[in-house]
Homo-oligomer: A and B are copies of this chain.
Amino acid sequence: MKKESINVGVIGFGTVGVGTVELLEKNREWIACRIGVPINVVKVVDLDWKSEREYEITSEQKSTNIDDVLQNDDIDIVIEAIGGVGVAKTVITRALEAEKSVVTPNKELIAKYGAELMQLADQKKIDLMFEGAVGGGIPIIRPMKTSLAGDNVQKIVGIVNGTTNYILTAMSEEGADFQDVLKIAQEKGYAEADPTADVEGFDATYKLAILSSIAFSTHINVDDIYHEGITKITATEIKYAKKLGYEIKLLAIGEVKGDSLQLRVHPTFVPLSHPLASVNGVFNAIFIESDPVGNLMFYGRGAGSGPTGSALVGDVIDAARNILNNASGRTPCTCNTTRDILSISELESKYYIRTKVKDVVGVLGKMADIFGANNVNLTSVFQPDQITDGNTAEIVWLTHQVKEENLQNALKELSSIDSVLEISSCIRALE
């Protein structure tokens, strides 16, 4: 029997839930026109119905009991908009077990438990979609699973966290320091009261795990991804970066190295000529190198109720089209290969290093010798003119593509000599 509507249940009515329900209802006719039947939001579950929202629903739609969605035979698609890995996981598991399609933007959950949840979805031949988990409203998961399904993705380089990109952009534009900009970002709502997940790189790590799983057809363990946040980036670093022709961005990088993968999240010197260098503010962008399509970039707003709502509604429509065609589960998990994850010490990269040294004759040569002895080839050395007193000097080094292990050995050795007062910073640079 042909279905006359697709019924949706939403669990969690915060920013994302509100954005999604509003869009489904506002564009109801438009969407019905596109898929042939209307999509109804039948139930919305939340424990708190006292807080005011920007979009109001009917009292009939409201519920405080997840069973009104999960045990409701009329509901075809469940939208999980709770977040976190506790209740959300239970909700999704129960929904899939009840053979309801699931749509979620929950990056932490998908990064950590995507493998087992996709396995359950595949067993039940039902859809589990999560376009909103990476890049907010940017279509990236679906294009990788469909349009690029015949391609061989070699490398992903993403600006996937809006908070840190907002902070780094503001630092770059205003010459301000991290803590000052963080405060403004928190006031504007671009950073959480506890900003750890964003500024320490956890959020970007989850997103890289998801992107890499799809691009490289293998399950990624989040803990295998090396990550560094942006808390140590100073106004000085950004100033020197610019002088050298770079912007500093927090990048999530996944790449194929022989049969293995190298996965990492860290602040990175990005050459101004690279398309990612001009991705500013809360915008996200994912740059892909793939054979044979070449270089691709997807750019857009990485967060917010509008963009994330758009991604969720796109998933709902896709899941609805599958339901209407008895084709749920038509794009199953494709993580069917196993690949080793290389340690960060195996990385080959260019590096920027800032050092504080005693301003004595021969120090530069001595340091250069140590770099050389550790197989760290230098491309340039420069001495900024802001020497604070007569006794100390700052020296900035740029290396060729060298092995991380060798670089770390060199830095260790440098730290041990008397005339080197401080390794002030060491930041990887994009080729």
Contacts and interface: CB of A to CB of B under 8 A. Distances in A.
Given A142-B143, A326-B326, A27 B293 contact: no
A292 B318 contact: no
A311 to B, nearest CB: 7
Contacts of A317: 146, 149-150
Contact of A149 (B31, B290, B300, B304): B31
Contacts of A142: 142-143, 146-147
Contacts of A278: 275, 278
A16 interface: no
A316 interface: yes
A307 B292 contact: yes
Interface string A375-401: 000000000000000000000000000
B291 A295 contact: no
A178 interface: no
A299 interface: yes
A295 B149 CA distance: 26
Given A275-B299, A306-B294, A34 B325 contact: no
Interface string A10-26: 00000000010001100
A140 to B, nearest CB: 9
Interface stretch (A80-88, A241-249, A259-267, A327-335): A327-335
Contacts of A177: none
Interface in A348-394: none
A77 to B, nearest CB: 13
A416 interface: no
A143 B318 CA distance: 11
Interface centre among A292, A296, A305, A318 (most CB of B within 10 A): A292
B150 A139 contact: no
Number of copies: 2
A183 interface: no
A271 interface: no
A113 interface: no
A298 interface: yes
A296 B307 CA distance: 10
Nearest to A39: B150
A298 B298 CA distance: 5
A105 interface: no
A336 interface: yes
A283 B297 CA distance: 11
A317 B332 CA distance: 13
A409 interface: no
Contact of A294 (B137, B147, B314, B336): B137
A310 interface: yes
Given A27-B150, A34-B217, A297-B300, A321 B316 contact: no
A322 interface: yes
Given A278-B275, A292-B310, A317-B146, A152 B299 contact: no
A131 interface: yes
A23 B299 CA distance: 27
B301 A293 contact: yes
A306 B293 contact: yes
A34 to B, nearest CB: 5
Given A34-B334, A294-B304, A294-B307, 10 more contacts: A19-B292, A23-B150, A23-B151, A33-B336, A34-B217, A138-B296, A146-B314, A147-B310, A147-B311, A326-B326
8 contacts: A30-B217, A34-B149, A139-B139, A294-B300, A295-B301, A299-B299, A321-B330, A322-B327
Pick the 8 closest A-B CB pairs, nearest first: A292-B306, A150-B313, A139-B147, A327-B327, A137-B293, A293-B310, A139-B143, A325-B327
